């Protein structure tokens, strides 16, 4: 049974279409990066998964309907929908008391251990904390829940670089134990690339690309080509081409590496490169723009 | 990180089942953390009133001396007046506090987007709304009772001390007040009128709070006010205002000769009250309002 299974998922807000025929299957133990630009539908997709908004089409999370069974689902799913949304009046110790009171899988000691590494004190009120500290508190609460699925929407948005890096290195890595499933939505691909097992690119409400990291590493190559070899390289059917510092950078899918090394320097594309190549080309093509 | 990992595994087994009452209990506590005015305002009103009363005890010995000159009915009224005023002030405070609380209760969490945090926890919308309804329907009446009781005890003890100190018999106060019966009547009044009879008012306010995107207070007040005003202009009556349970009502609960329901000669008629259609229509309306509020809490996200 997949942890998340959607088929023809669609969501509209009035006349604007936020999600269109999203088919997604996330198996247990995967870390999926849902990558898209602002307004591409990431938040809408995640909101549907955790039962915050109604939708059309099929969507099952842990075999439950998120919209009608949110409260039962939340025993096994934890999520952060947005940064800095803990209520201002809440005291840190009250937050711990409350979550411990209502959540059967919350481990208070674990949350306290996470908080002990921060500057947050139990008698602090949320309104006295900085934005970064509020996120730290929220993460400590959420990561102390023994959930089967963790959903994070831009968890590091608006935070400083050192904290962002630290978050993906340490707490999230410790949380993940090969049985938990994590879905992270972000537009900052670089900072989470290393921890992902799968990526899905969302562009204008549609999933334009979905792949495991292993597959990306074995199937995609980026070649830096000098001007004299461009014609030869183009003959090998690149899926994308861009220019940088006087050289062309061509992206190939499923083309033999040996063959490619004849026309230029071959390297593995980063997820960010792939994202840029796969979404911008389609977006511009659909607008009829010149590449 | 090792300490963290070991705690991680040790607690793997502890996935204790929680009883359904626990989320409700913690949701009510959450409301009290957020809305400290629920008890701070009535407590402050009581303290201010007590201070005023203490100053007024200067005149108390004179009042007691002049008491025999009055007829028995007025004797009681003279002594009981400050106690009735204390009760009235606290009830009014509780109603105002309860009203403001309800209007904000389901809107504030959408306004500050914290609803996204609350909804990330396994607490149903019914539990949340019922915890919020618990505040005006159960918590506030009982708190009001406790505060009025404490306040009246303080008043009675200090008056007794003042009266005794001026060489008069403090027993006059106690017999005139019949404190025990007054307290029972107070509790009866709070439970019948403030909890049961006014329940649909609080239900309505919670519903508007769950529905309105902004200006919940205006939405709660204006439509009923408009209907009442139109009725007054067109028919010259005020039945709708009466229906709103803000002007009197609940007369089935007791037969009181005076203005104050805590008068010891008040004759309570709980039987009549319990079979009165007005009560049950009101409770049915409350149930409808709360069901709709639960529905809206489920459907609506943050207000921006």
Residue B124 has pLDDT above 80, yes or no: yes
Helices (H), chain A: 42-49, 70-73, 92-102, 108-116, 131-143, 161-169, 171-175, 189-192, 213-219, 230-234, 257-261, 271-287
**Using one digit for the tens of pLDDT, what is the confidence trace for A118-153?**
899 999 999 999 888 898 899 889 989 989 999 988
Query: Would you call B122 and A72 a contact, using CB atoms and an 8 Å cutoff?
Result: yes
Q: Give A150 to chain B, closest Cα distance, Å.
A: 11
Average pLDDT, chain B: 84
B119/A74 CB distance under 8 A? yes
Which residues are CB-neighbours of A279 under 8 A, at least 6 positions away?
A: A36, A37, A201, A203, A208, A209
Q: Which two tokens stand for residue A246?
A: 């006087």
Pairing of strands A240-244, A220-225: unpaired
Query: How far off is chain A from B37, nearest CA to CA, in Å?
Result: 13
- pLDDT confidence of residue A94: 96
The predicted-structure confidence for B139-173, as pLDDT tens digits, reads as follows 999 999 999 999 999 999 999 999 888 888 888 88
What length does chain A have?
291
Contact by Cβ (8 Å): A27, A3 = yes
> B251: how many CB neighbours lie within 10 A of its CB?
15
Question: In the block, which residue shows the tokens 């009042």?
Answer: B63
Instruction: Report the half-sphere exposure of A265 (CA within 13 A, side-chain side).
Output: 7
Rounded to whole angstroms, the Cα distance separating B119 from A50 reads: 9
Do A47 and B301 count as a contact with CB atoms less than 8 A apart?
yes
Mean pLDDT over residues A75-96, rounded? 89
The nearest CA of chain A is from the CA of B40 a distance in Å of 16
Contact B243, B139 (CB under 8 A): no
Compute the mean pLDDT over every residue in chain A, rounded to the nearest whole number: 86
Q: Which range (A80-84, A270-274, B97-101) has the least confidence?
A: A80-84
Q: Tokens for A205?
A: 């409400």
* B185/A100 Cα distance (integer angstroms): 41
Name A35's bridge partners.
A186, A201
Q: What is the pTM of this model?
A: 0.86
The distance of Cα B150 from the centroid of its chain, to the nearest Å, equals 16
Q: With CB atoms and an 8 Å threshold, state whether A101 touches B3.
A: no
Q: Containing H/E element for B92?
A: helix B72-105
């Amino acid at each position: 049974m997949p942890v998340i299974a959607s088929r023809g998922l669609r969501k509209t807000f009035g006349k604007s279409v936020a999600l269109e025929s999203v088919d997604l299957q996330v198996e247990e133990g995967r870390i999926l990066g849902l990558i898209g630009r602002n307004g591409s539908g990431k938040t809408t997709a995640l909101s549907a998964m955790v039962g915050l908004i109604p939708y059309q089409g099929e969507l099952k999370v842990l075999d439950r309907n998120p919209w009608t069974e949110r409260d039962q689902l939340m025993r096994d799913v934890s999520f952060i929908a947005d940064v800095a949304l803990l209520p201002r009046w809440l005291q840190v110790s009250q937050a711990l008391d409350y979550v411990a009171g209502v959540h059967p899988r919350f481990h208070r000691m674990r949350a306290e251990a996470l908080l002990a590494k921060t500057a947050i004190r139990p008698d602090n009120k949320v309104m006295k904390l900085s934005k970064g500290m509020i996120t730290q508190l929220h993460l400590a609460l959420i990561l102390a829940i023994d959930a089967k699925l963790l959903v994070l929407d831009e968890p590091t948005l608006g935070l400083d670089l050192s904290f962002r890096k630290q978050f993906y290195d340490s707490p999230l890595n410790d949380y993940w134990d090969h049985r938990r499933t994590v879905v992270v939505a972000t537009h900052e691909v670089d900072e989470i690339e290393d921890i992902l097992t799968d990526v899905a690119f969302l562009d204008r409400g549609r999933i334009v690309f979905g792949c495991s990291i292993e597959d990306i590493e074995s199937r995609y190559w980026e070649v830096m080509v000098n001007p004299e070899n461009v014609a030869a390289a183009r003959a090998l059917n690149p899926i994308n081409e861009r220019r940088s510092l006087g050289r062309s950078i061509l992206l190939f899918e499923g083309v033999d590496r040996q063959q490619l090394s004849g026309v230029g320097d071959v390297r593995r594309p980063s997820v960010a490169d792939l994202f840029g190549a796969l979404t911008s080309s389609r977006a511009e093509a659909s607008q009829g723009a010149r590449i | 990180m090792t300490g963290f990992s070991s705690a991680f595994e040790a607690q793997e087994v502890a996935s204790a089942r929680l009883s359904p009452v626990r989320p409700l209990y913690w949701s009510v506590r959450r409301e009290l953390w957020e809305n400290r005015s629920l008890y701070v305002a009535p407590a402050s009103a009581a303290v201010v009133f007590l201070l005023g009363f203490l100053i007024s005890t200067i005149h108390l010995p004179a009042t007691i001396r002049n008491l025999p000159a009055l007829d028995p009915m007025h004797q009681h009224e003279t002594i009981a007046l400050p106690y009735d005023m204390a009760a009235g002030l606290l009830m009014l405070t509780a109603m105002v506090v309860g009203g403001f609380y309800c209007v904000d209760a389901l809107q504030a969490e959408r306004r500050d987007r914290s609803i996204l945090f609350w909804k990330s926890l396994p607490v149903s919308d019914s539990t949340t709304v019922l915890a919020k309804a618990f505040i005006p329907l159960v918590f506030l009446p009982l708190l009001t009772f406790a505060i009025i009781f404490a306040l009246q005890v303080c008043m009675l003890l200090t008056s007794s001390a003042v009266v005794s100190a001026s060489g008069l018999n403090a027993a006059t106060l106690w017999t005139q007040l019949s404190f025990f019966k007054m307290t029972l009547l107070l509790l009866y009044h709070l439970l019948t009128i403030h909890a049961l009879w006014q329940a649909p008012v609080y239900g309505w306010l919670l519903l508007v709070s769950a529905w309105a995107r902004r200006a919940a207070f205006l939405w709660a007040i204006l439509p009923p006010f408009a209907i009442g005003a139109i009725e007054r202009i067109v028919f010259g009556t005020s039945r709708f205002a009466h229906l709103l349970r803000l002007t009197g009502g609940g007369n089935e609960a007791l037969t009181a000769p005076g203005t104050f329901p805590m008068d010891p000669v008040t004759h309570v008629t709980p039987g009549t009250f319990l079979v009165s259609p007005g009560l049950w229509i009101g409770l049915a309306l409350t149930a409808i309002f709360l069901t709709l509020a639960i529905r809206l809490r489920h459907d609506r996200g943050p207000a921006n």
